[in-house]
């Protein structure tokens, strides 16, 4: 009896440890449910259960798909755009016949699987970063969706909606719960197969999985295809729920999906977690939203809560790292770094360096080109492409376009992207990515108006930039000190800023930019807008910052190899904090400039700048893996993106097509730089 108990106890401990994330997810769900039950006048009725599952099913199914990708140590930003694609595809084409309902439901799911296949090919087979691939596909799919339906509309038969929203068993079992259960059953069946084992294996250690004979590429490709199909299922249910199509319905779900994944106990390090926890996380998030309604909290706070929950959930999973930091673990490593750094530097100093007289041509120009060959190879394509676009534009619009006016507009519009390129480029060179740029731009523009009329006057722009830099530094602290994934940290900050902006303004921004800012952006001196002169000074200063300063050296070292940089005496955390503070300050500057340019701030004014802020960095020759890039290359990318956008607008290319083109340009640039 004693032996049996002794044997069972370690097994139980291992089982509890293995399912700790799921247990925490269930406990959290139960606690929120009890709190909500205690604050409902009549308690939780069957109607409440049914409506909760109806509201949660789309999020839960999408979170299951995202969880599968995360388990394989990947990330998928295309989830929201695929939901919109399926929603619009079904709403536009389905008619009131059983055959049509089945056909278009399957085609909607198939469209999601096709997007997953597209992502998987680039991520698994071409080995491109999953963040960049799925970000590009997100915009490509959004463009395709707008081609199908450019505004809310369409309709699905009442029978289609009734099937998914009715009860499977009257007053006992709602159909949305059945749909979620069917998807979960499919997950458990998949998990029990060799594919499921391989999925966890490559998420834990790709090298070890390869050594054991796991087909890593095929498994990862399958993960993205399955996830895409599940996004399609989520979009199909959403269509039945809303009864119509909306091309903008999916993208706002990206933050809640990741919140559900993390609340469900699946860490973004891969190899652990599961889809049942994701469902618990989705239900928890929906109950929290209901709880806010019970307490009469405005809906503007929803994204603030979601962003905070995402950060808190990740922090809960990082408690070991936090404990080590509190105990002085990082201090001991720093001391080791100070002793190891000089030794490493002495080792590198002993390496023979090539002599210019022996290896380089006599010509000074050729010596310079030889020395900067890698930089020229990555940066020149942007300027060559810019020349082609300029020639094509001026030729196409000959007689209808004033050269001076065109170039004035080109440089004014480039100013926005050039400023963003410095911030986003610094973060990317350091091996990260900043997804909080759109909300920071909007926050800065809105707060500029609020604080200008609030009494700060001419000091309002300075206050906005300082506050933005502080917020960026907090993002860098979470990434560099606590160890949060850059995507997750900045996505959460983006959601929090969106909510804070709405709360502060009530959804209606007030005020305007100070007059001198409007003059800089729209005035004229000798026929030129004043901001152009400032742009030239900015380009020079930014080029020097990323080429001739100690900050630049630390940044490139961290992006190339953070571990080696750390043990060579570089403060990785401080460098990342500085990079994200710079990115936030640059985004705030763009928000201020946009407010002066348009005369007044507006909600979502920063949304169109997420893709371009990354595109100009990639097109300018900066490696998305970090450690390589120049600001002159990024400035060339900014000029190219602006010129291309102006040309497409000039020939009346719809924004949907432009999204597809820009997404494809990013993928092409990443592929082109992959081996350089």
pLDDT digits (tens, 9 = 90+) for 50-72: 888 999 999 999 999 999 999 99
- Verify that 427 and 278 share a domain, yes or no: no
Residue 73: partners with Cβ closer than 8 Å, 6 or more residues away: 202, 203, 206, 269, 270, 271
- Verify that 108 and 250 share a domain, yes or no: yes
Structural domains of the chain, count: 2
The pLDDT score that the predictor gives to residue 639 is 94
- Verify that 517 and 418 share a domain, yes or no: yes
The pLDDT score that the predictor gives to residue 359 is 42
Average pLDDT over residues 539-546: 94
Residues 448 and 441: beta-carbon distance below 8 Å: no
In a domain, 1, yes or no: no
In a domain, 14, yes or no: no
Query: With bands split at pLDDT 50, 70 and 90, how would you rate the model's confidence at 17?
Result: low
Other beta carbons within 10 Å of 41: 5
Q: Is 425 exposed, middle or buried (0-12, 13-18, 19+ CB in 10 A)?
A: buried
- pLDDT at residue 401 is higher than 90: no
Domain ends where: 276, 298, 317?
317
- Verify that 309 and 386 share a domain, yes or no: no
In whole angstroms, what separates CA 234 from the centre of its chain? Answer: 20
Average pLDDT over residues 78-83: 95
- pLDDT at residue 396 is higher than 50: yes
Helix (H, G, I), strand (E, B) or coil at 378: helix
In a domain, 364, yes or no: no
What is the C-alpha to C-alpha distance for residues 650 and 639, in angstroms, rounded to an integer?
Answer: 16
The pLDDT score that the predictor gives to residue 1 is 47
- pLDDT at residue 100 is higher than 50: yes
Domain ends where: 317, 334, 354?
317
Q: What are the structure tokens assigned to 626, written together?
A: 């970090």
The pLDDT score that the predictor gives to residue 363 is 60
- Verify that 282 and 385 share a domain, yes or no: no
Q: Which tops the pLDDT comparison, 402 or 346?
A: 402
The pLDDT score that the predictor gives to residue 199 is 94
Average pLDDT over residues 153-176: 90
- Verify that 391 and 454 share a domain, yes or no: yes
What is the C-alpha to C-alpha distance for residues 607 and 609, in angstroms, rounded to an integer?
Answer: 5
- Verify that 95 and 190 share a domain, yes or no: yes
Whole-model pTM over 0.75: yes
Q: Which tops the pLDDT comparison, 478 or 457?
A: 478
In a domain, 355, yes or no: no
The pLDDT score that the predictor gives to residue 368 is 57
Domain ends where: 317, 345, 379?
317
Q: What is the DSSP letter of 525?
A: B
Q: Which tops the pLDDT comparison, 192 or 526?
A: 192
Query: With bands split at pLDDT 50, 70 and 90, how would you rate the model's confidence at 357?
Result: very low
pLDDT > 70 in the chain, percent: 86
Q: What are the structure tokens assigned to 129, written together?
A: 């970063």
- Verify that 241 and 101 share a domain, yes or no: yes
pLDDT digits (tens, 9 = 90+) for 282-313: 999 888 888 888 778 777 788 888 888 888 87
- pLDDT at residue 169 is higher than 70: yes
The pLDDT score that the predictor gives to residue 346 is 42
Which whole-number Å values give the CA distances from 599 to 414, 529, 608, in the listed order? 18, 15, 18
pLDDT digits (tens, 9 = 90+) for 572-610: 999 999 999 999 999 999 999 999 998 888 888 998 898
Domain that holds residue 531: 371-673
Q: Which tops the pLDDT comparison, 13 or 345?
A: 13
In a domain, 113, yes or no: yes
Query: With bands split at pLDDT 50, 70 and 90, how would you rate the model's confidence at 278?
Result: very high
| Parallel/antiparallel/unpaired status of strands 167-169 and 173-174 | antiparallel
- pLDDT at residue 365 is higher than 50: yes
Question: Domain of 668: which CATH number?
Answer: 1.10.3470
The pLDDT score that the predictor gives to residue 660 is 86
pLDDT digits (tens, 9 = 90+) for 147-158: 999 899 999 999
Closest residue by Cα to residue 273 from 288, 284, 286, 260: 260
- Verify that 405 and 288 share a domain, yes or no: no
pLDDT digits (tens, 9 = 90+) for 645-675: 888 887 777 888 888 887 888 888 778 766 5
- pLDDT at residue 354 is higher than 50: no
Query: With bands split at pLDDT 50, 70 and 90, how would you rate the model's confidence at 611?
Result: confident
In a domain, 348, yes or no: no
Q: Which DSSP string corresponds to 274-318? A: -HHHHHHHHHHHHHHHHHHHHTT--GGGHHHHHHHHHHHHHHHHT
Choose the most confident range, by mean pLDDT, from 356-360, 380-384, 488-492.
488-492
Q: What are the structure tokens assigned to 398, written together?
A: 């000959």
- pLDDT at residue 501 is higher than 50: yes
What is the C-alpha to C-alpha distance for residues 197 and 73, in angstroms, rounded to an integer?
Answer: 14
- pLDDT at residue 504 is higher than 90: no
- Verify that 299 and 404 share a domain, yes or no: no
Residue 166: partners with Cβ closer than 8 Å, 6 or more residues away: 174, 175
In a domain, 602, yes or no: yes
The pLDDT score that the predictor gives to residue 131 is 86
Closest residue by Cα to residue 270 from 316, 220, 308: 220
The pLDDT score that the predictor gives to residue 141 is 94
> Which residues are registered as beta bridge partners of 173?
169
Other beta carbons within 10 Å of 508: 9
In whole angstroms, what separates CA 506 from the centre of its chain? Answer: 26
The pLDDT score that the predictor gives to residue 465 is 96
The pLDDT score that the predictor gives to residue 350 is 41
Residue 447: partners with Cβ closer than 8 Å, 6 or more residues away: 460, 464, 467, 501, 504
Q: What are the structure tokens assigned to 208, written together?
A: 């070890």
pLDDT digits (tens, 9 = 90+) for 309-343: 888 877 776 655 555 444 544 454 444 444 444 44
The pLDDT score that the predictor gives to residue 8 is 54
Closest residue by Cα to residue 519 from 530, 534, 532: 530
The pLDDT score that the predictor gives to residue 46 is 84
- pLDDT at residue 454 is higher than 90: no
- Verify that 144 and 255 share a domain, yes or no: yes
- Verify that 583 and 658 share a domain, yes or no: yes
Residues 434 and 490: beta-carbon distance below 8 Å: yes
Average pLDDT over residues 109-117: 96
- pLDDT at residue 488 is higher than 90: no
In a domain, 366, yes or no: no
Query: With bands split at pLDDT 50, 70 and 90, how would you rate the model's confidence at 352?
Result: very low
């Amino acid at each position: 009896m004693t032996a049996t108990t002794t044997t069972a106890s370690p097994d139980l401990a291992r089982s509890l440890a293995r399912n700790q994330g799921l247990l925490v997810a269930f406990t959290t769900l139960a606690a929120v449910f009890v709190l909500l039950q205690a604050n409902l006048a009549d308690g939780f009725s069957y109607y409440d259960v049914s409506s909760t599952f109806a509201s949660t099913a789309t999020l839960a199914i999408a979170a299951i798909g995202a969880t599968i990708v995360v388990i394989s140590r990947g990330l998928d930003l295309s989830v929201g755009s695929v939901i919109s694609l399926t929603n619009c595809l079904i709403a536009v084409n389905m008619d009131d016949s059983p055959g049509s309902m089945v056909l278009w439901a399957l085609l909607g799911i198939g469209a999601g699987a096709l997007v997953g296949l597209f992502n998987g090919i680039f991520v698994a087979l071409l080995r491109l970063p999953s963040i960049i691939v799925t970000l590009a596909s997100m915009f490509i799919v959004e463009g395709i969706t707008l081609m199908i339906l450019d505004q809310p509309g369409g309709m699905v038969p009442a029978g289609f909606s009734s099937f998914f929203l009715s009860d499977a068993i009257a007053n006992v079992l709602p159909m949305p719960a059945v749909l979620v259960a069917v998807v979960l059953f499919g997950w458990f069946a998949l998990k029990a197969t060799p594919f499921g084992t391989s999925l966890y294996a490559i998420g834990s250690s790709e090298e070890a999985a390869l050594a054991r004979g796991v087909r890593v590429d095929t498994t990862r490709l399958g993960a993205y295809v399955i996830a895409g199909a599940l996004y399609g299922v989520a979009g199909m249910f959403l269509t039945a729920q809303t009864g119509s199509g909306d091309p903008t319905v999916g993208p706002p779900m990206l933050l809640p999906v990741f919140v559900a994944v993390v609340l469900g106990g699946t860490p973004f390090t891969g190899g652990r977690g599961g889809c049942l926890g994701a469902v618990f996380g989705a239900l928890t998030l929906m109950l929290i939203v209901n709880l806010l309604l019970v307490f009469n909290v405005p809906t503007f706070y929803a994204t603030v809560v979601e962003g905070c929950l995402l950060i808190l959930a990740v922090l809960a999973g990082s408690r070991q790292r936090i404990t080590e930091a509190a105990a002085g673990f990082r201090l001991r490593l720093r001391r080791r770094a100070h002793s190891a750094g000089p030794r490493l530097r002495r080792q590198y100093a002993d390496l023979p360096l090539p002599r210019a007289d022996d290896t380089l041509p006599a010509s000074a120009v050729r010596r310079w080109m030889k020395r900067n060959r890698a930089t020229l190879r990555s940066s020149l394509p942007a300027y060559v492409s810019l020349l082609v676009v300029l020639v094509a534009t001026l030729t196409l619009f000959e007689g209808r376009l004033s050269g001076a006016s065109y170039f004035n507009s080109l440089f004014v519009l480039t100013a926005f992207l050039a400023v963003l390129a410095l911030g986003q480029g610094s973060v990317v060179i350091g091996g990260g990515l900043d997804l909080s740029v759109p909300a920071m731009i909007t926050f800065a523009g809105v707060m500029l108006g609020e604080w200008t009329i609030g009494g700060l006057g001419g000091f309002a722009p300075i206050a906005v930039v300082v506050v933005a830099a502080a917020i960026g530094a907090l993002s860098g602290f979470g990434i560099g000190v606590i160890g949060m994934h850059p995507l997750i940290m900045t996505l959460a900050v983006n959601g929090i800023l969106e909510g804070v902006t709405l709360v502060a303004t009530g959804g209606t921004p007030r005020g305007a930019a100070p007059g001198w800012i409007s003059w800089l952006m729209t005035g004229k001196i000798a026929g030129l807008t004043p901001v152009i002169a400032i742009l030239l000074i900015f380009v020079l200063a930014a080029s020097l910052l990323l080429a001739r300063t100690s900050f630049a050296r630390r940044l490139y070292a961290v992006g190339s190899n953070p571990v080696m940089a750390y043990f060579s005496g570089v403060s990785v955390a401080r460098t990342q904090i500085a990079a994200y503070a710079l990115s936030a300050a640059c985004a705030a500057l763009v928000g201020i400039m946009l407010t002066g340019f348009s005369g007044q701030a507006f909600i979502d004014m920063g949304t169109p700048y997420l893709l371009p802020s990354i595109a100009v960095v990639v097109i300018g020759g900066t490696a998305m893996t970090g450690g390589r890039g120049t600001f002159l290359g990024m400035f060339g990318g900014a000029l190219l993106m602006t010129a291309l956008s102006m040309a497409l607008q000039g020939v009346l290319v719809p924004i949907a097509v432009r999204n597809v083109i820009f997404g494809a340009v990013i993928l092409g640039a990443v592929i082109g730089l992959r081996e350089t």
